[in-house]
Structure 1
């Protein structure tokens, strides 16, 4: 029997698919499901993602077939065809994509046969099954992108040696997705590269359509986007490189050097970019040195987060900020081989720290893991506890932070205690932002 996850930190596959489509420029998701799905997911996506809102033709403006009992009995394909036709008439978009919920999957509606009816339309219409009971929001991200890679991206034998595509940052599920994509794009452009992020600032649907011209796909995640990159390589012959999400100096320098090596760039060119970024980075950080030491800003830390943030934030705290993140809790349900790959990301820290890594998607267990790592005093006068401590996680850790009387910075989904616009934690500038946010809370709680 499958494990029951209490307080999960993701939506179903349908939610991830909706978020992915609505984050594409002028793309319109068309939901084929029962009425409750769209409304519930609009709240989960928009409200819990730093109050992101619905974007263009998303949220509560999402077109939906809203299948009824009659459609469930006799089939909902006719109703979906009607909904697509009306959406094309009313909503102005550059791409229309049908996503499906549990109910229509259970009765066997064939979304592909319905979408084919619009093959000769003036508007591009695509779709895929995003069966919610087969995966979570990360699955929905890959489901949508895999379908677009197969059916929408134009095949080409011509490759641009200095063009790359960026995957692995899931829109809305990563609350800082747009800022992170823009930050990494800016860094890669300094290497002389043309970068397609698909969801970032200034992107167009045409960038996605012509993305097979890239010579390399970069996946900044050991799990998210892997299936998309494999499909890309299979269909369009574009190889991919998997790297961890970089935050701060050490991780970002390694990221840039790895990209440069994979593309055959001159090492001096990459070194110059890294050196320039480091000068700015440490010029800001050194301003903190006196206060950091005199006021004792160092803390023990627990990092609770998804595949991307758990390892990235832990490494940043240990190697860049000089903290002691001794415990990391990864909240995504993973396969054994995925756990093994991710476990390796927590090794080889420059600081020499070797954090304990726990894989546990149940939100209620975070406090138990902290108590196990730092046992309670049990009346002892002297003991090593979680103090002075700091918690990096999501809003689900508010009760735990109150229990241990430590500050909490929410950096992973869900986030309902912060407004997030273009904030980024990736790269050098993102590292400065993260240090600023963390230490501001330390000062506020003194």
Structure 2
């Protein structure tokens, strides 16, 4: 059993990750319900619509990802009329950028969507994603959506401001992304670095426009940010950085990330390193006490299903810092090849590479890192003791306090879950 998202959903969620942008589906009603649910699950907005507004044409009682409900006749005769009926209603209810995304079937009809938008006088605030890569990994579709929005917004060329950055490669598909943004901004601010925009993770159109001022773009997960960084480099000449240890997950990768950013910008990393050292001391005391009474977590087993940019630092930390053993490491489609190679090089040193041939949902382990739905399945079937969702939230679980598994606070959160769970 494997659950995941595709590039079509990735493109929609990319648009929905922008605070003042809205994805509109040019397609059948059956394609809307899942996409609307995913959008609301990954980025719940405040100020939901009232019932009368939700009942308007196009919304169908769901606030997110309205559509023009194409049917079989529209696939034969064209769906422009429906689009031109629904789009003005949606535009009156949505401020900011509108992104019309063709469903897989609608992409084959050949409707001149651009002409319809121009006829309605909405070209100034509308972007068309004509043919999203429906069968490609979610990460690729997500970047296509982000770049389409950036092309439409077209940030002006501005002077770069010293000690400023954009964070790329974090998406609303990453579990607890809001807490992650807060944590990474906090760590960077300790070094005197200002974060202008978190592209793909709750930024505004205005922040996108200001993003051209950044001195450096920091790629957190190349799967979700490499092409975006290349777009900035080509458009504005903005340099970018990828930490050699992958995403800042776990103490070791977080320290490497902080030092890499500090070196690139020529700032003093010591305040952030001091914060990390303090967290390590707290962790050490808790682990010594836990190990004294249980002998754990050394020898406990784990499995991971994630992009290689997360799987690599997380695996290395769990093995070297906690003495845990990998039973299954399943990389998501579209994983970064360099991080994949680093992971394989590390894991073969202790004959753990057999884990790379196993499926997470087929192994009984102590701790699982996967998406929320998979973890719910594994826990309910007694296949693990502890589950930490790193992508795709479990819709049945309410979380009101900001959390993260990234950075200094995230490492403590992971340890807390393992200690309490085991």
Q: TM-score, normalised by structure 2?
A: 0.83
| Partners of 1:346 and 1:259 in 2: CA distance | 25
Q: 1:71 aligns with which of 71, 74, 77?
A: 74
Q: 1:356 aligns with which of 353, 370, 375?
A: 353
Q: Secondary structure at the match of 2:221?
A: coil
* Map 1:46-445 → 2, pairs under 5 A: 46=40, 53=44, 60-61=62-63, 62-89=65-92, 91-116=93-118, 124-131=125-132, 133-171=134-172, 173-195=173-195, 196-198=197-199, 203-243=203-243, 244-263=246-265, 265-266=266-267, 269-298=268-297, 299-307=299-307, 308-320=309-321, 322-334=322-334, 338-345=336-343, 347=345, 355-356=352-353, 365-366=359-360, 370=363, 389-394=366-371, 395-397=373-375, 406-416=384-394, 418-421=397-400, 422-442=402-422
- 1:46-78 alpha-carbon deviations (Å, 9 max, x no partner): 45x5xx656667992132111123322222234
Q: Return closer, same or farther for 1:405/1:428 CA change in 2, 3 Å cut-off.
A: same
Q: Is the Cα contact below 8 Å between 1:424 and 1:430 reproduced in 2? A: yes
| Partners of 1:24 and 1:44 in 2: CA distance | 15
Aligned residues: 401
Pair 1:7 & 2:2 matched: yes
Partner of 2:15: 21
Identify which range, 425-434 or 18-27, moves more after superposition: 18-27
| Partners of 1:441 and 1:127 in 2: CA distance | 47
Unaligned stretches of 5+ in structure 2? 50-58
Alpha-carbon shift at residue 324 of structure 1 (Å) = 1.7
Alpha-carbon shift at residue 435 of structure 1 (Å) = 0.9
Q: Is the Cα contact below 8 Å between 2:219 and 2:229 reproduced in 1? A: yes
| Partners of 1:209 and 1:117 in 2: CA distance | 27
Q: Secondary structure at the match of 2:224?
A: coil
Q: Is the Cα contact below 8 Å between 2:306 and 2:390 reproduced in 1? A: yes
Alpha-carbon shift at residue 439 of structure 1 (Å) = 1.5
Alpha-carbon shift at residue 328 of structure 1 (Å) = 4.3
- 1:361-387 alpha-carbon deviations (Å, 9 max, x no partner): xxx94355x4xxxxxxxxxxxxxxx78
Q: Is the Cα contact below 8 Å between 1:99 and 1:127 reproduced in 2? A: yes
Identify which range, 282-291 or 252-261, moves more after superposition: 282-291
Q: Is the Cα contact below 8 Å between 1:14 and 1:100 reproduced in 2? A: no
Identify which range, 219-228 or 112-121, moves more after superposition: 112-121
Alpha-carbon shift at residue 142 of structure 1 (Å) = 0.6
Q: Secondary structure at the match of 1:98?
A: strand
Identify which range, 214-223 or 392-401, moves more after superposition: 392-401
Question: What is the RMSD of the two structures over their aligned residues, measured on CA atoms?
Answer: 3.1
Q: Secondary structure at the match of 1:102?
A: coil
Q: TM-score, normalised by structure 1?
A: 0.79
| Partners of 1:161 and 1:357 in 2: CA distance | 47
Q: Secondary structure at the match of 2:157?
A: coil
| Partners of 1:117 and 1:281 in 2: CA distance | 61
| Partners of 1:34 and 1:319 in 2: CA distance | 50
Q: Is the Cα contact below 8 Å between 1:219 and 1:241 reproduced in 2? A: yes
Q: Return closer, same or farther for 1:130/1:191 CA change in 2, 3 Å cut-off.
A: farther
Q: Is the Cα contact below 8 Å between 2:26 and 2:68 reproduced in 1? A: yes
Q: Return closer, same or farther for 1:157/1:310 CA change in 2, 3 Å cut-off.
A: same
| Partners of 2:122 and 2:107 in 1: CA distance | 26
| Partners of 2:356 and 2:102 in 1: CA distance | 30
